Homo-oligomer: A and B are copies of this chain.
Amino acid sequence: MRHISLNRPFVVRSYASSWPASQLWSASYLSSALGTQPVNVALTPHGNADSVIDVGGKGEGKLFVQPYERSEPFTSAMQYIQAQELGGPAQHKNRPTRYLQTQNDNLRSEYTALFSSVPPSIPFAHIALQKQPDAINFWLGNSHSVTALHKDNYENIYVQVRGKKHFVLLPPVESVCVDERGVLAATYKPRQREGSAESEEKEEDLNNLIPHVTEPHTYTPFALWDPDTPPSDDRGTRFSHLSQPMRVTLDEGDMLYLPALWYHKVSQSCNEEGICCAVNYWYDLEFGGSFWSMANFIRGVGLLSPAKSGG
């Protein structure tokens, strides 16, 4: 409660070392638990799910592009992820990146066969927050996937099970640094071959994922700045250089309390089996009190400020 009331991140090393998940979840265990059960797979050409891309030349136009989602048998999706990670460049040249990252409470639905390997809630979190988690999510991917800087309206308990996760963290007061803008929304889709129907989709179609603008046009507010890149005319604000990102790597068994509204960019490294696997618990944030209203006011001030670099 003391930590959460400060809206300050912390890591407990080896917090989850004794969880059944930490003991059991090898690639072969996951295969035997889930088999060929269909799961939702996010496909992107460069591992960039939910990110802003430049189209039509730098500075000319931007799209907030969501991954192509597709149902695949669990085992083949995982084997693909492993092969891309462990194989040579030939294994992934021009081929899409796959990430199991549904974020819709998938550990209690798609991946329910794995749910008994983790606790149903995190004791310190439900005592402090006086609620049960809204969602418990299972994540499986490889080092090709990077989650772009964003924030969530949740208190987040993130537990690393296999491989490593690398977090870059910015507090909510740095909202003016992240260059949040409304960006035209799009979704990756396979390039349609002449005369083929969607049902005939083949593996090679997935090597040509093209952003399709969402109809009707929708603008998604999103952070454009990458905290691993100096601010430029194109991305970042005149305050970005003042940002003081925190960086932390979670090893297997480590737990991160990622406070509500903190911006985070996440990249990952695989274990020797070529997988990176994590579980996270989302608890609704406290909308009463001063935090939510103050943080939103500050974000609003940033959005109104003449904040472009060079501006």
Tell whether, in the assembled complex, residue A6 and residue B301 are in contact, meaning their CB atoms are under 8 Å apart.
no
A7-B173 CB under 8 A given contacts A2-B1, A298-B297: no
A290-B1 CB under 8 A given contacts A297-B298, A301-B301: no
Give A1-41 interface residues, CB cut-off 8 Å to B.
1-2, 4-8
A290-B291 CB under 8 A given contacts A297-B173, A298-B297: yes
A288 at the interface (CB under 8 A from B): yes
Q: In the complex, what residue of chain B is closest to A291 when comparing beta carbons?
A: B290
Residues from chain B with Cβ under 8 Å of A295 in the complex:
290, 294
A71 at the interface (CB under 8 A from B): no
Contact of A288 among B8, B290, B294, B298 (CB under 8 A): B8
Tell whether, in the assembled complex, residue A290 and residue B2 are in contact, meaning their CB atoms are under 8 Å apart.
no
A311 at the interface (CB under 8 A from B): no
A interface, over-half SS: helix
A172 at the interface (CB under 8 A from B): yes
Give A229-262 interface residues, CB cut-off 8 Å to B.
none
Give A274-311 interface residues, CB cut-off 8 Å to B.
286, 288-291, 293-295, 297-298, 301
Residues from chain B with Cβ under 8 Å of A2 in the complex:
1, 130
A190 at the interface (CB under 8 A from B): no
Tell whether, in the assembled complex, residue B6 and residue A171 are in contact, meaning their CB atoms are under 8 Å apart.
no
Residues from chain B with Cβ under 8 Å of A173 in the complex:
290, 293-294, 297
Q: In the complex, what residue of chain B is closest to A300 when comparing beta carbons?
A: B301
Instruction: Tell me the bound Cα distance from A290 to B130 in angstroms.
Output: 21
Tell whether, in the assembled complex, residue A171 and residue B298 are in contact, meaning their CB atoms are under 8 Å apart.
no
Instruction: Tell me the bound Cα distance from A171 to B5 in angstroms.
Output: 18
Contact of A6 among B6, B130, B288, B298 (CB under 8 A): B288
A298-B289 CB under 8 A given contacts A1-B1, A1-B2: no
Instruction: Tell me the bound Cα distance from A128 to B152 in angstroms.
Output: 28
Instruction: Tell me the bound Cα distance from A297 to B171 in angstroms.
Output: 14
Interface residues of A (CB under 8 A from B): 1-2, 4-8, 130, 171-173, 286, 288-291, 293-295, 297-298, 301
Top 7 A-B pairs ranked by shortest CB distance?
A6-B289, A5-B5, A7-B290, A294-B294, A1-B1, A301-B301, A8-B289
11 A-B contacts (beta carbon < 8 Å): A1-B1, A1-B5, A2-B130, A5-B289, A6-B288, A7-B290, A8-B290, A171-B290, A172-B294, A294-B294, A298-B298
Q: 20 new A-B pairs (CB below 8 Å) besides A173-B294, A290-B291?
A: A1-B1, A1-B2, A1-B5, A2-B130, A5-B286, A6-B286, A6-B289, A6-B290, A7-B289, A7-B290, A172-B290, A172-B294, A173-B290, A173-B293, A290-B294, A290-B295, A291-B294, A294-B295, A294-B298, A298-B298
